[in-house]
A and B are shown apart, each in its own frame.
Chain A
């Protein structure tokens, strides 16, 4: 069945009430019966929940074959915990048929690809999928299609019981002996633990893995001891160098800077650029550089930003310290400046992924967002964005909060170069739709700006400000004139990944790519 972004969704997937994507806000007003976990009572006081090893913790909470384990990705490419847990479960306990429900998976988790190939891991639910896991899933080696969700779609699915987490693992930079966790104060600091919060509340069992045991009580706790079954102390939960970069630098690339300046110009031309406006930007070159130019316009107009959300890094913390933004609230901290600021700098707070972006709760932050600036691997003439699959059709990306912020914000700006090498970024049809075009408002490229025809109000804003813009088709044609028209990818029938829209409907599927045979 074809969905609202023109993608053919196999009927076999439309079971148990699953629907195809119907457009923005389709689920608005409907009721949700929340799922509840089945948790063990710890009535008898215990001095400590520390157990000797991950394997021991798994035994204690009754880990069995067929279970779903959850992980969070605050340690990013430095994470050791997911690999350690899977190794203990499969190699030491001999478990199989496991499903991994992670907030994201990256190159750090390459060893898990072997468990997929061996048929021990049979399900993957994640936002990001990269590296060897992306390769083996794309090659059709995972028993069931991977389910890809946005950062807001994941807590929605957990709360709705579509994902039931048997054991949640919390990689904690610091924990006390009963499991109060924080993202700071240790040797592998990551700042916010926002993605782990919903998991801890909805999992039957919660195991904390830390490399820095601190005195009780570890306050203010991001994950609370009231939800934790066991604490494991290991030598190292991750590689600090890969957890957070020293400092996110603002790009000096003239192309990035030019696009960033245009982004700021577009923002300043809209009615929402006023005292107290709200903003989120990515950490990619031009997205991050937008901060710089936005500050210039803020100074010119004598206005301040009310609040910013996101993934956060240094430049936004800098604005907070200068008093140019009122509050910063985040689920993730990308560099040490942000890590060292959260819950320390007045006005810098932590929030859960549900509070950030869940479309089914009663007031996610994204719904109050004025502007979001996002990148794209590809964007098509219907303004649909792909941030998941490469031009070769292989899974190598992450929707993350992209679809959530795009849908919630008043003005969603995509900033991307028109071409990358020989690849047209602006194309006729994206490989995979990860953010539907009805949520995307403006496209800023190095070759010009295009406004989604669904937003005549923004067209008027740009015209009034004298900002030139062209139809998106003109940008796509320019891209093809520069690098040529790409051939269509060739797929097999097997669906290797299902891409859920944030509301739980099916936005797109990724099929197994036909192996490339050179003549």
Chain B
């Protein structure tokens, strides 16, 4: 039995890789690719009559495989199916770090899942509050209600958009410039930031279109996403590279945090670094840059 450490609500989640929970060959060592989070799927990847088998596979994987620092999230079946309650029980019993609520449309959906999670935590003797939640917005209604969903629970660490379903609802198709989902991505990002949680973009499904993938990831970063859902390990490294800060950004962030701590100790609130005015408001961003840099192997200092 592999005990997993208590999940961190806010950690680095640049990449979340979907894997069919029913495929032992895939999930047995998915952590070797260096992904930040693994998303074990009980929903669409698993055939309707295989849901039980997938739950067994998931449970035993989490109980016997040491995923180390790689976060393990489970995508459960939608609340309109007969599967989600048992899905929640198996996630909690196995000690998954978090649950992704599929097709989330309201704060009530989050609260419903949270109630069942808490009940399962009590049932299996798991610390109450341990299991994190995130929501997948897949419909116009989900996007409209994005803020109340993001703010619905202290367990919520993030929100993601699911492009396939959303585009269908909107009667549009994938567009290389992202205009098909521009408004939805924007609204979701604003909601997530307002609620203080993370925000993740949808998968890019054409594995042969590398240029298109890179362009979308660059746009994700420019829009302010924390990370992206992936379907293949070969997508991991490009995302990490694009989300990595530049050398200059790292040096500037290091100087800012350093200077701020020295200034604070000396009782100074506002000061300049390399000619730029810096005050306390800049520091969380700078610290985030340094954490990202550390994960990318670009920063080895001890400021974060």
Contacts and interface: CB of A to CB of B under 8 A. Distances in A.
A258 B32 contact: yes
A386 B297 CA distance: 35
A447 B234 contact: no
Interface string A181-224: 00000000000000000000000000000000000000000000
B297 A466 contact: yes
A254 B33 contact: yes
B234 A254 contact: yes
B29 A257 contact: no
B297 A446 contact: no
A327 B237 CA distance: 33
Interface in A442-459: 446-447
B219 interface: no
Contacts of A261: 237
Contacts of B33: 254, 258
Nearest to A254: B233
A258 B233 contact: yes
Nearest to B298: A466
B246 interface: no
Contacts of B234: 254, 257
B29 to A, nearest CB: 7
B232 interface: yes
Contacts of B29: 446-447, 482
What is the interface residue range for chain B against chain A? under 10
A255 B234 CA distance: 9
Given A446-B29, A446-B32, A254 B297 contact: no
A466 B298 CA distance: 10
A257 B34 CA distance: 13
Interface in B202-233: 232-233
Given A254-B232, A254-B233, A447 B297 contact: no
B201 to A, nearest CB: 21
A255 B232 CA distance: 11
A255 B236 CA distance: 12
B82 to A, nearest CB: 34
Instruction: Give the interface centre of A254, A261, A447, A482 by most chain B CB atoms within 10 Å.
Output: A254
Nearest to A481: B66
Contacts of B237: 261
A261 B233 CA distance: 13
A466 B296 CA distance: 11
A255 B237 CA distance: 13
Given A254-B232, A447-B32, 16 more contacts: A254-B33, A254-B233, A254-B234, A255-B32, A255-B233, A257-B233, A257-B234, A258-B32, A258-B33, A258-B233, A261-B237, A446-B29, A446-B32, A447-B29, A466-B297, A482-B29
Interface of A: 254-255, 257-258, 261, 446-447, 466, 482
Top 5 A-B pairs, shortest CB-CB distance: A254-B233, A446-B32, A254-B234, A466-B297, A257-B234
